[in-house]
Chains A and B, each alone.
Chain A
Amino acid sequence: MYMLTLKTLDRRVRVDCAEAETRSLLTAAYGHMEGDAGSADLHYTVGRDSARFFIKREGQDLLAAADDGMFLALFDADIAIELQKLRRDLYFVHAAVLTVDDSAFMLVAQSGGGKSTVCWALSHHGFRYLSDELGPVDLKTLRIHPFTRALMLKTNPPANYPLPATTVHTSRGRHVAAADMPGGVCESLARLTAVFFLRYDAEAREPSIRGISAAEAAVRLYADTLNALAHTGEGLDAAIRITTATACFALVSANLTATCALLADTFKNLPREERRDWARGN
């Protein structure tokens, strides 16, 4: 039995792996979160027999997966839900998060909106990686916790953003370990200062960006919140708290390099103390 201990969101997750292949898959996806062994808040046993992968969490029925990609997808979904239960105080947004200095921004998009691809590309332009899927926000401080699961791309990125040789390929995508992100990893909480709502437009020749109101941003953010009902006002107050304190933009992506340049230029030129007002054009 191989044991893997993950540390994230100030909680410890112990995963007992029955054989080497599942351990290898989990290490590829979650290895950056590996921490010291100790009392676990969450405990899994995973493995593979001749027909399937399985995931067993204490007190729950066994989850079965036909292949490696499905195995990781099921594990991702389960651990995301369990972490939300363990950290009900945090506001979980389905988002990629990157940082510059001590400032973080979220990339929020519907499925297929290109969030991970833009995140991967931005990592080549000096931005540090904080998360690809979960943006857990501390509502008191508006700081985001790192959730450094490997970035997952459903398709190959453009040739000018090549994948590293260490990329793990599964039936559902390509997993790039946090340690292999070209811009490095943000290891600590970072203050959320901007939110970009990303939409890919295949017809657009150039990317475009516009500042949006806190109300519009709250509506968009709420739609991508994972644990809204754990918070007062059915989570709406928290969404508003975030969007009234950050600069919010609607970003239509097109050419990937141009999209990165537009986002980087917008973010880096936000006045440090006046990001919110700047976005609204005041």
Chain B
Amino acid sequence: MAKHPTRRSDITARLVEGEMVVLDRERDLVHQLNLTATFIWQRCDGQCTGEEIARQLVEAFDIDSRTAEASVGLALQQFERLGLLERA
């Protein structure tokens, strides 16, 4: 997994009332992200590491760091599995 996860540049994404809708025309798939996944997706900008995203998640959602790290790890795995991130 990339140290600084980066969203694919050709993806169309829209924030809809707090939830991200992500359109991947290349794979002809459209995804809905929940609030946590949306938060993580917005930080997949090539600047933040997974650890940094987890720290921000702790502050934003008032959760413990272990839960945040697990959430970020799972979300990034799913983004990667769905091909939504630039390849490392």
Query: Which chain A residues have a beta carbon within 8 Å of chain B's beta carbons?
Result: 213-216, 218-219, 222-223, 233-234, 236-237, 240, 243-244
Contacts and interface: CB of A to CB of B under 8 A. Distances in A.
Contacts, number: 45
Contact of A234 (B19, B20, B25): B25
Nearest to A228: B23
**Across the A-B interface, the 3 shortest Cβ-Cβ residue pairs:** A215-B19, A215-B16, A219-B32
Contacts of B21: 215, 218-219, 236, 240
A278 to B, nearest CB: 15
27 contacts: A213-B16, A213-B32, A214-B16, A214-B17, A214-B19, A215-B17, A215-B18, A215-B19, A215-B20, A215-B21, A215-B33, A218-B14, A218-B16, A218-B21, A219-B21, A219-B30, A219-B31, A233-B12, A234-B12, A234-B23, A236-B14, A236-B23, A236-B30, A240-B14, A240-B21, A243-B16, A244-B17
Interface residues of B, number: 14
B4 to A, nearest CB: 26
Nearest to A221: B30
Contacts of B18: 215
Contacts of B31: 219
Contacts of A236: 12, 14, 21, 23, 30
Interface in B1-44: 12, 14, 16-21, 23, 25, 30-33
Majority secondary structure of chain B interface residues (helix, strand, loop or mixed): strand
B11 to A, nearest CB: 11
Interface string B65-86: 0000000000000000000000
A223 B19 contact: no
Contacts of B19: 213-216
Contacts of A237: 14
A240 B25 contact: no
A213 B30 contact: no
A213 B15 CA distance: 12
Given A216-B19, A233-B12, A236-B14, 14 more contacts: A213-B17, A214-B17, A215-B16, A215-B18, A216-B32, A218-B14, A219-B30, A219-B32, A234-B12, A234-B23, A236-B12, A237-B14, A243-B16, A244-B16
Given A233-B12, A240-B14, A222 B20 contact: no
A222 B16 contact: no
Contacts of A213: 16-17, 19, 32
B80 to A, nearest CB: 20
B15 to A, nearest CB: 9
